[in-house]
């Protein structure tokens, strides 16, 4: 029995050629020709006016926090069901994350609970479109306008996702993307900051270039560059951008395959799941998702443990996902306590992600489906 991994980064064919060209033609530092091409692709794909490649989504989130001048005494509303980087970006600036629980269906920030968490110190809502299924953006944007809050979309999962036909990552003033090798498109480690508020663009370029106006210098707009603001080095080498460009150019193929895999899981697992008391992903009608994650919600933690073990015995790697951030060591130090976000606490114990990646073959997927159904029947 050959092992089936949980994930393998897509390789679509031109990655090596482009990397070789980047090296041969140079320059290989950041903001070379391949980076410019990636910016163009991301802007066209999303409709966002400005993309800036970053070394990771983590760093794009840190840039967003710098751009908002978050600091001591500020509060930011975040879900506890997310990767640690979402929250670290806030904490690194000395601001306080305020955890608001998620909805049980989409596992996204519960928009009906946001207003109760807003105080005079709240500056922003930093949301995550889990699995690339949109948060309820109409409600959330209305709340943001009413309370004069900035919305930041951590769109690590959601490139190609949309809400009522509008691309995810274009609602908030700022949005971030991830090109880590677990994502649909990747360059190993990488990300992007998407700027939807034109007033933030020039400062974002400065923050990304060590607090200097080097980007303007490269454009020939100033004759020397200088230290203008706080900043760090957030731009990736053009070698990474070359790799990413190959993936962007092949996004149709990657997305088509991922959607075929996602839909097959959904259709073949639907009735066995119902019989076993297992819940499949919920995608509201007005949302289109990017087939980033296929998860199942087992009835209990024990049932999940048995499913994972049963798949492992067949050399299939399925994995759970986030642990509740408010109950982590750091989250507890910041006042997190049990029962604070009951939906997150419950879901984190029950969620299992099944293998889904570009190169997953039909026969390997059939093996996963059969193994899952067998495990569910044994548990019934």
Binding site residues, ligand PLP, CB under 6 A: 56-58, 82-83, 85-86, 128, 154, 156, 178, 180, 182, 191
Under a CB-based contact definition with an 8 Å cutoff, are residues 320 and 194 in contact? Answer: no
Distance CA 261, CA 354 (A): 11
Nearer to ligand PLP, 178 or 215 (CB): 178
Under a CB-based contact definition with an 8 Å cutoff, are residues 288 and 164 in contact? Answer: no
Nearer to ligand PLP, 127 or 195 (CB): 127
Least distance from C-beta 65 to ligand PLP, angstroms? 13
Distance CA 200, CA 50 (A): 10
Least distance from C-beta 223 to ligand PLP, angstroms? 35
Nearer to ligand PLP, 118 or 193 (CB): 193
Least distance from C-beta 205 to ligand PLP, angstroms? 20
| Of 317, 331, 301, 310, the residue nearest 79 (C-alpha) | 331
Nearer to ligand PLP, 156 or 254 (CB): 156
**10 is written with which tokens?**
């897509």
Q: Are strands 162-163 and 351-353 parallel, antiparallel or unpaired?
A: unpaired
| Of 14, 32, 17, the residue nearest 237 (C-alpha) | 32
Cβ of 99: how many Cβ atoms within 10 Å?
A: 25
Least distance from C-beta 58 to ligand PLP, angstroms? 3
Buried/exposed code over 184-194 (b: 16+ C-beta within 10 A; e: otherwise): bbbbebbbbbb
Alpha helices by DSSP H, 73-136: 84-91, 114-117
Under a CB-based contact definition with an 8 Å cutoff, are residues 295 and 281 in contact? Answer: yes
SS3 of 45, please? helix
Least distance from C-beta 152 to ligand PLP, angstroms? 11
| Peptide bond before residue 27 is cis, with ω within 30 degrees of 0 | yes
Nearer to ligand PLP, 97 or 214 (CB): 97
Least distance from C-beta 257 to ligand PLP, angstroms? 20
Nearer to ligand PLP, 57 or 368 (CB): 57
Q: Are strands 174-178 and 351-353 parallel, antiparallel or unpaired?
A: unpaired
Q: How far apart are the first and last CA of the chain?
A: 26
Least distance from C-beta 190 to ligand PLP, angstroms? 7
Distance CA 87, CA 82 (A): 8
Nearer to ligand PLP, 71 or 188 (CB): 188
Least distance from C-beta 267 to ligand PLP, angstroms? 26
Nearer to ligand PLP, 173 or 372 (CB): 173
Least distance from C-beta 366 to ligand PLP, angstroms? 28
How distant, in Å, are the alpha carbons of 256, 290, 352 from that of 357?
A: 11, 12, 16
Nearer to ligand PLP, 182 or 374 (CB): 182
């Amino acid at each position: 029995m050959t092992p089936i991994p949980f994930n393998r980064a897509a390789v679509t064919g031109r990655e090596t050629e482009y990397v070789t060209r980047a090296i041969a033609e140079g320059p290989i530092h950041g903001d070379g020709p391949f980076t410019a091409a990636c910016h163009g692709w991301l802007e066209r794909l999303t409709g966002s006016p400005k993309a800036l490649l970053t070394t990771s989504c983590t760093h794009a989130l840190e840039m967003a926090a710098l751009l908002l001048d978050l600091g001591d005494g500020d509060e930011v509303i975040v879900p506890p069901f997310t990767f640690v980087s979402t929250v670290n970006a806030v904490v690194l600036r000395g601001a306080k994350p305020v955890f608001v629980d998620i909805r049980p269906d989409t596992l996204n920030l519960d928009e009906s609970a946001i207003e109760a968490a807003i105080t005079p110190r709240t500056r922003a809502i930093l949301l995550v479109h889990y699995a690339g299924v949109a948060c309820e953006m109409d409600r959330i944007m209305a709340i943001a306008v009413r309370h004069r809050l900035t919305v930041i979309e951590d769109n690590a999962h959601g490139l190609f996702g949309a809400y009522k036909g509008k691309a995810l990552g274009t609602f908030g003033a700022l949005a971030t993307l991830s090109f880590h090798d677990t994502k649909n498109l990747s360059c190993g480690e990488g990300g992007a900051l998407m700027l939807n508020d034109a007033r933030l663009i020039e400062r974002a370029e400065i923050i990304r270039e060590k607090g200097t106006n080097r980007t303007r210098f490269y454009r020939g707009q100033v004759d020397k560059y200088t230290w203008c603001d706080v900043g760090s080095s957030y731009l990736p080498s053009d070698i990474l951008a070359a790799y990413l460009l190959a993936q962007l150019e092949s996004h149709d193929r990657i997305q088509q395959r991922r959607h075929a895999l996602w839909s097959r899981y959904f259709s073949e697992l639907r009735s066995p799941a119902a019989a076993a008391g297992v819940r499949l992903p919920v995608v509201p009608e007005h949302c289109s998702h990017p087939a980033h994650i296929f998860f199942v919600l087992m009835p209990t933690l024990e049932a999940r443990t048995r499913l994972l073990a049963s798949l492992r015995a067949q050399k299939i790697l399925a994995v759970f996902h986030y642990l509740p951030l408010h109950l982590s060591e750091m989250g507890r130090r910041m006042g997190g306590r049990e029962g604070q976000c009951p939906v997150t606490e419950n879901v984190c114990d029950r969620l299992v992600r099944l293998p889904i990646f570009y190169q997953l073959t039909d026969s390997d997927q059939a093996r996963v489906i059969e193994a899952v159904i067998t495990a569910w029947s044994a548990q019934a």
